[in-house]
Amino acid sequence: MLKTMLKIDTRFIHKDIRKRADDLLSPACNAFSELVAKTCRGREWTGFWNYPQQQGYEVNKGIDSYISTIPHAYDAVVLLGIGGSLQGVQAVHDALRKTRLRLLFAGYHLSAGMTNAVLEQLEQCQPLLVVVSKSGETLETAVAFRVFRNYLEQRYRKHEACQRTIVVTDPDSGSLRAFSNANNCQAFSIPADVGGRYSVLTAVGLVPLALAGYDTTMLLQGADAFYTQMINTDNPAVIYAATRNAAYQADKHVEVLSYCDPHLRSLAAWWQQLFGESEGKDGKGILPTTMALTSDLHALGQYLQDGRRNMLETFLVVEDMQSASTQVPTDPLPAVGQRQDYLANKTMQELNAIAINSTRLAHHDGGVPNMSIILSRLDAYGLGYLFAFWQTACAISGALLGVNPFDQDGVENYKRNMLALAGKSGLESEAEKLRSRLQ
């Protein structure tokens, strides 16, 4: 079972790229060894590798025992965060859709409308607030934290508001850590050696997912299985990293992740953030973008088939979506039935598989090399495996590209401008310069 949890199919990669990919396998294996040995560039950020065994299971136990002591009834969790502090949880929630309570998201935008919509939903609920920020300083999350803390304090008074607030942040520094210390709120730590987009399997993901009732042990076990197996077997992360770098060398500067079911939209967004923020630097990197099957075939499909040939396509295929089978009935209208008889009695799953295979062939023939990542089943275990696979592949791929896949200095530029324009003290002269450019 474990060996086939994830496979890579590269049959529809064009020959020249496959040849380059073969040449890159050895450097990719070296990059993988350096990651495992923690001798790679950015080694101080490699704590995600093998995290379940290093700390994850223990942290998970601590979270479970905290949950059993929460002193108030609750039927909703509001998660505040952005980027790596949020997207992994959205990915799991969107993919599995089985919570024992309402899981709501805020703090990842500056939309008053969306914030108010969440606040309105809380009127019918007894909420807990989980705020996740490694730095503790991110503006979007800080704004939402003030709004939702204010709401809790007005509704429950200060003491209970604190008991309904859970902080996930840096072990020692930042405003959120200071807040939790000063107010005696429950706090969990994000390991210092794990960066935001590599942190879904730490307290960042485990706390909100466990509160919502997801099987976080299975999530960790899936990742653990990947780490354990990869030491000894053919490594799909090496193959994926080598193939996408080979495509990049052949001037395929865009990677489209075409996912097989709309429930994978947030997972695709998580992948996009992981690769975009890890590789887009020093004037290099593949632009990661996503396409939902089959809806986007009626939006982007034309471009994929016939537009500029600068793309690599990766299909994310799940063999067992764990959803009930739905059969197409015989058409009750004879006139339509005559034309569409071939559909009768097929399942939607079968038709979706046919659509994916048809697309793979058509796009290959149209000049877009494509590979498929085939995950055997979509459950917490499978997702844990997939997270570990992609994080490992990203670290290897960044090394092949010649960048540090763990930093994100570029994100700081807009943040600094925003802090200056919002009036943060110490940035007054910067703010003045920015304002004069905007006039």
Just list the catalytic residues. 277, 298, 415
Shortest spacing between CB 142 and ligand PA5, in angstroms? 9
> Which residue lies nearer to ligand PA5 by CB, 83 or 208?
83
**Residue 371 and residue 243 in contact, taking contact as beta carbons nearer than 8 Å:** yes
- Cα–Cα distance measured from residue 129 to residue 139, given in angstroms and rounded to the nearest whole number: 17
- Cα–Cα distance measured from residue 330 to residue 325, given in angstroms and rounded to the nearest whole number: 16
> Which residue lies nearer to ligand PA5 by CB, 336 or 411?
411
Shortest spacing between CB 232 and ligand PA5, in angstroms? 30
Tell me the backbone φ, ψ of residue 336, rounded to 5 degrees. Answer: -75, -40
Name the residues that contact ligand PA5, by CB under 6 A.
Answer: 82-85, 133-135, 138, 141, 195-197, 277, 408, 411
Residue 369, judged by CB atoms within 10 A of its CB (0-12, 13-18, 19+), counts as buried
> Which residue lies nearer to ligand PA5 by CB, 85 or 314?
85
Shortest spacing between CB 79 and ligand PA5, in angstroms? 12
Is the preceding omega at residue 294 within 30 degrees of 0, hence cis? yes
Shortest spacing between CB 200 and ligand PA5, in angstroms? 10
> Which residue lies nearer to ligand PA5 by CB, 136 or 222?
136
Shortest spacing between CB 230 and ligand PA5, in angstroms? 23
Q: What is the identity of the amino acid at 300? A: L
> Which residue lies nearer to ligand PA5 by CB, 168 or 312?
168
Shortest spacing between CB 277 and ligand PA5, in angstroms? 5
**Three-state SS letters, 168-197:** EECCCCCHHHHHHHHHCCEEEECCCCECHH
Provide the CA 118 distance to its chain's centre, in angstroms: 22
- Cα–Cα distance measured from residue 59 to residue 200, given in angstroms and rounded to the nearest whole number: 13
Query: What residues are paired with 374 via a beta bridge?
Result: 7, 317
Angle formed by the axes of helices 15-37 and 380-401, nearest 10° = 100
**Residue 360 and residue 372 in contact, taking contact as beta carbons nearer than 8 Å:** yes
Q: Looking at beta carbons, which residue is closest to ligand PA5?
A: 196
Shortest spacing between CB 361 and ligand PA5, in angstroms? 36
Q: Which tokens sit at 428?
A: 């007054």
> Which residue lies nearer to ligand PA5 by CB, 30 or 135?
135
SS3 242: helix
- Cα–Cα distance measured from residue 272 to residue 285, given in angstroms and rounded to the nearest whole number: 12
**Residue 328 and residue 344 in contact, taking contact as beta carbons nearer than 8 Å:** yes
- Cα–Cα distance measured from residue 302 to residue 42, given in angstroms and rounded to the nearest whole number: 40
DSSP state of 194: B
* The dihedral formed by the CA atoms of 338, 340, 345 and 350, expressed in degrees to the nearest 10: 160
- Cα–Cα distance measured from residue 168 to residue 296, given in angstroms and rounded to the nearest whole number: 36
61 C-beta neighbours (distance < 10 Å), count: 11
CA distances from 394 to 277, 278, 351 (A): 10, 7, 32
> Which residue lies nearer to ligand PA5 by CB, 381 or 390?
390
Shortest spacing between CB 357 and ligand PA5, in angstroms? 35
> Which residue lies nearer to ligand PA5 by CB, 177 or 360?
177
